[in-house]
A and B are shown apart, each in its own frame.
Chain A
């Protein structure tokens, strides 16, 4: 009964990585039959569009790929996949130029008409290309336009719920899709499948990505059996707005505020960053500031709103309004005066560094399955630099697009046969919430998993809490298997929340498992029971895959220092 579609290339997601891959694959091979499916409207979902800051890239003769590479390894605390990071920084230059010359992006300029680059944390040279503080809108608007121009078919509000596999379980044959408008399944089979849904760790109380995100790509990759890496590495951005009772809570105040000299205060009015990082105070990196704020908040020194305060007023109201008009407006909408007062903030879940293990072509551990963007892991190591996120999506999306066109050209377009019954089994299981007369509400369970992750798998972790978390995830999963959804199937948002929750459960389990296995503090992963970075212990990647009982099986593999030795990394910009 289920409708089916066939394509040479199925692309799941329509952010920067997905769009770039589609454009480059088609331009290299105009015969390709590409199908894009997105959970949102064309180019409107996800995090690429929400990028404020910008795109790190080497353009100036005084800067070098070597510097960008070393900054990226330093930021990632040495556990990056070096070859991937090297491709990122070297290909970024051509990528950003092509985005201007081929797709019409128009980034901000220097007085002499060349592209302007601004400073960002953790960089040895000012290399962040931007368009005001709304860079993502420019990038996604232009890429979407190009997809429309080429007439690449896009199924909007159609989400992939699971990858389809052949009888052996080693080859991906496509994906089972759910058309959210009609409330019906659709089978998409393809010669190659690219997962580029973006991450978006919304499984925490505070999160920066839009609440429509739900780590779907990571969940389906894991369920399909792909090897996932470094899932404990979840970045928390230090300055998310607190707005009690509003879904806007967790939205970012941009990093540039701290860069410009804003202060952070705890509930007692103390500038606590002077205690944690006396030399740089508020200008410390995201991981250090988030951790420090979290410790203040959980040690009885929170503000009445449950967070800390950011203050920029001492820089002068005119300065704040001139340089951060968007941020001032965002605060004003909720009655906060960024230019003249203090604004309550909290660390907020921001980005997943972990993801599917991929090679330089985006090929995952499964045949015919490719991954790009936030769904892929390794390039950022233990922590991502501001400005390297949209860079990853565009650069590696472009690389994978080119690789896919070659791959499909070389006689690999044939469709594999999906395992008999997989579609029916999955569809039947997923539709059960509609058939029950009673059961837990996905809205309630979603709230519960967000609180649980925040308290036990969040900014600062420890062994006992992580162990508790794993048990609690099992309990939530058990309740989720009995969920009830009311109403019809077409455009049912309660059902959307239910399917979102299933992804969140799988990803929460991966994060907690990996976090428990890494007994040290490194980058974004912070353990109060192991507060030191241990280079004699921790130079490994956590490779994880779904075991036969459905639970993650973890295997630690040593970091491959293929381009730079540990010593070179450790000695780079010391102190």
Chain B
């Protein structure tokens, strides 16, 4: 078998650099296209050409659902897709899944999907305290219904492929609904009415495009599950659905709120020194915010009262605001440098235009400086020394009453 050359385009985005990311091209010698997976392609590139490339995998045999990505325009598992599955005439194009925040390159944060599982009560809640497993024949209709959905490995391919996920923030999405249906059909489960009520509104958002069903690497049809939930609800949903009690009885609401970000910020985190807090806050924000195919719209965020920003100084303010993008929203902490050195207020980004390190203003020298590579900017943000390719980036701002707002 002779080796062939394939051009591989990989989406690269590094929060430490910032920006919107973009594709980088690699050329790869492929010895045996029918025995080389996309995971192998990435490992070869990483080991032979570019060790900084980031992607995710665990089991490498389609059991864990960690390596979902968009391969030549379609959601697939990298470990289950071979080079020979893609037409030789095409480039191989790899990019992160849609709708999820990008952590780095092809790696996305999948918590938004897990949160949807919680919202649709997509977990088993026993109907009664049994000591013996329920007797259910293998050919019972209920078993057939459940079997279809329990092969799910929560890879997120269906969520990424669904265009509706982007349009309805409350939409639970195909993965959570497929699981919800399996539980609704499960006679052992005790949350039938509550879950039906929790899942039904989302089902109305589905436009039956069947993208989810087409891309599922396990052959599951969330579309079918969604339609079955609607049908079941027509027949069986009680007109005044009972309130879901599980939140109160099973876990205090506070616990439900705990996710990675809040845990780091909240529960028992001891941070030494206020200066450190600012640094960590910005790092945490940077690593969880990345471009997705559905980048959040710009919005005006309040900086605070103008009177609190001293004249003749540059003040760094940490903005905390809620940003929504498709199926998830997150609290973002972003530092902004507000210059009142002259009469004009200027709002600068703290990221150095060179490689994204943090720039600060030095009062003694009256200059903005970047500690990484010595980039230096004058009072108006223009480059006066070092490698930065352009002046400091600015945010648009406006004044409303006594408040300063910036467009983020």
Contacts and interface: CB of A to CB of B under 8 A. Distances in A.
Bound pair (A, B): yes
Interface of A: 1, 3-7, 33, 35, 40-42, 44-46, 49-50, 97, 100-104, 106-116, 131, 134, 136-138, 141-142, 145-146, 148-156, 181-182, 184, 210-212, 243-248, 251, 330, 333-335, 441, 443, 485-488, 490-494
Q: Is the interface of B mostly helix, strand, loop or mixed?
A: loop
B36 A245 contact: yes
B64, B114, B186 pick with most chain A CB within 10 angstroms: B64
Given A4-B269, A246-B40, A486-B51, A101 B133 contact: yes
B110 interface: yes
Contacts of A46: 58
A97 B133 CA distance: 6
Contact of B51 (A97, A134, A148, A487): A487
A210 B250 contact: no
Interface in B153-174: 153-154
B54 A335 contact: no
Given A49-B59, A103-B124, A156 B260 contact: yes
A46, A152, A247, A251 pick with most chain B CB within 10 angstroms: A247
B278 interface: no
B64 A490 contact: no
Interface stretch (B87-95, B143-151, B322-330): B143-151
A102 B123 CA distance: 11
11 contacts: A4-B270, A41-B56, A46-B58, A101-B129, A101-B133, A112-B137, A134-B151, A150-B255, A155-B263, A184-B283, A212-B57
Q: Is the interface of A mostly helix, strand, loop or mixed?
A: loop
B251 interface: yes
B123 A212 contact: no
B239 interface: no
Contacts of A109: 135-138, 143
Interface in B116-137: 117-118, 122-126, 129-137
A134 B63 contact: yes
B259 to A, nearest CB: 8
Contacts of B188: 101, 104
Contact of A101 (B43, B79, B130): B130
Nearest to A245: B31
B46 interface: yes
B80 interface: yes
Given A44-B64, A210-B60, A245-B31, A137 B124 contact: no
Nearest to A444: B47
A6 B269 CA distance: 7
Contact of B36 (A42, A131, A210, A246): A246
B40 to A, nearest CB: 5
A112 B140 CA distance: 11
Contacts of A42: 114
Given A44-B58, A101-B133, A248-B60, A141 B152 contact: yes
A101 B126 contact: yes
B189 interface: yes
B63, B256, B263, B276 pick with most chain A CB within 10 angstroms: B63
Given A112-B137, A137-B151, A487-B52, A245 B35 contact: yes
Interface string B230-247: 000000000000000010
Given A5-B268, A6-B268, A106 B59 contact: no
How many B residues touch the partner, as a band?
A: 35 or more
A156 B256 CA distance: 16
A49 B35 contact: no
A435 B81 CA distance: 37
Contacts of A138: 150
B15 A490 contact: yes
B260 A155 contact: yes
A491 B268 contact: no
B37 interface: yes
Given A100-B134, A493-B46, A494-B52, A182 B284 contact: yes
A155 B263 CA distance: 8
Interface string B270-299: 111000100010011001100000000000
B138 A3 contact: no
B60, B137, B183 pick with most chain A CB within 10 angstroms: B60
Nearest to B54: A491
Contacts of A110: 138
